[in-house]
């Protein structure tokens, strides 16, 4: 079946998570926490086909206000396609980009107020949900760190692409800043490697310990007389 994420047609099937569908079709919607449902980076608006998706669970309700739920707000990492039909979703980043490009100040103010209200009112219940899941064993901190590390690079790339598309004249300064940031990420990755005993590295980084060039092998010829 075909669903639409930010108006892009994406191949999907019943049983797929919206987040995985977006990733597989390169229609990324953000997932800083790696799909652990401990943030709102994969927040989307379901514009059509809510009945084709799983009902919001407690993990989602802990982070999304009743107002945004009523507007079709969902966490893509917790939303599963349960039956075929027409499904259209819009990511939070894409909605914000369209508001900015349209120079729609009233919509921008309304949007900012809604998001700000959601963040401030749902923070306590969100934290409570995380603590509860850790205590019950449904959320494992070590696994979560690995997922967060794997999600940072795609999330930052999404932000960069959206910003450059909206403000193309900023690409050169951003590229220069990116080179500086790359060095900082490489350093941070080395520290993460040391702490995790070589098990974790930040995506897109270079680890001085594990990415060393192979040492040259000196070859000699032995001949017998």
CATH number, domain containing residue 144: 3.10.20.30
Average per-residue pLDDT for the chain: 75
Contact 33, 80 (CB under 8 A): no
What residue numbers bound the domain in which 154 lies?
2-166
For residue 126, the Cα-to-chain-centroid distance in whole angstroms is: 17
Q: Is residue 125 part of a domain?
A: yes
Specify if 51 maps to a domain: yes
* CA atoms within 13 A of residue 45's CA, in its CB half-sphere: 16
pLDDT reported for residue 55: 94
**Using one digit for the tens of pLDDT, what is the confidence trace for 154-188?**
555 555 555 545 455 444 554 555 566 666 667 77
71 in a domain, yes or no?
A: yes
pLDDT for 174: 45
**Residue 104: C-alpha distances to residues 64, 117, 163 (Å):** 25, 20, 17
- 67/80: higher pLDDT: 80
More confident residue, 53 or 175: 53
Q: pTM above the 0.85 mark? A: no
Burial of 18 (0-12, 13-18, 19+ CB in 10 A): buried
Query: Is position 205 within any domain?
Result: no
Do 15 and 81 touch, CB atoms closer than 8 A?
A: yes
| Domain assignment of residue 185, yes or no | no
Q: Which residues pair with 80 in a beta bridge?
A: 17
The domain total for the chain is 1
| Range scoring the smallest mean pLDDT among 49-58, 59-68, 76-85, 212-221 | 212-221
Report the b/e string of 33-64 with b at 16+ CB within 10 A.
bbbbbbbbbbbbbbeebeebbeebeebbbbbb
More confident residue, 201 or 95: 95
Question: Tens digits of per-residue pLDDT, 137-163?
Answer: 777 665 655 555 555 555 555 555 555
Within a domain: residue 116?
A: yes
The answer to the question of residue 75 being in a domain is yes
130, pLDDT greater than 80: no
Residue 68 is assigned to a structural domain of this protein? yes
* Residues 91-100, mean pLDDT to the nearest whole number: 82
Overall average pLDDT of the 113-117 stretch: 68
Mean pLDDT in residue range 87-104: 82
In the predicted model, is pLDDT for residue 79 greater than 90? yes
Averaged pLDDT for residues 51-67: 90
d(CA 182, CA 224): 53
Q: How large is the average pLDDT for residues 15-19? A: 93
């Amino acid at each position: 079946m075909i669903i639409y994420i930010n108006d892009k047609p994406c191949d999907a099937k019943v049983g797929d998570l919206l987040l995985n569908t977006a990733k597989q079709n390169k229609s990324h919607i953000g997932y800083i926490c790696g799909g652990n449902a401990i943030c709102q980076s994969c927040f989307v608006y379901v514009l059509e086909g809510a009945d084709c998706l799983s009902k919001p669970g407690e993990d989602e309700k802990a982070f999304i206000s009743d107002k945004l739920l009523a507007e079709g707000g969902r966490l893509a990492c917790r939303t599963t396609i349960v039956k075929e039909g027409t499904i259209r979703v819009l990511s939070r980043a894409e909605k914000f980009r369209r508001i900015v490009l349209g120079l729609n100040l009233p919509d921008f103010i309304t949007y900012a107020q809604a998001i700000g209200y959601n963040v401030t009112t749902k923070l306590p219940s969100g934290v409570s949900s995380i603590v509860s899941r850790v205590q019950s064993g449904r959320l494992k901190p070590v696994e979560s760190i690995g997922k967060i590390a794997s999600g940072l690079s795609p999330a930052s790339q999404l932000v960069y692409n959206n910003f450059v598309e909206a403000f193309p004249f900023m690409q050169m300064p951003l590229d220069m800043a990116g080179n500086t940031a790359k060095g900082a990420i490489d350093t941070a990755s080395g520290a993460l490697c040391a702490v995790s005993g070589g098990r974790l590295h930040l995506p897109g980084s270079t680890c001085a310990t594990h990415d060393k060039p192979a040492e040259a092998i000196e070859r000699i010829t032995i001949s017998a007389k």
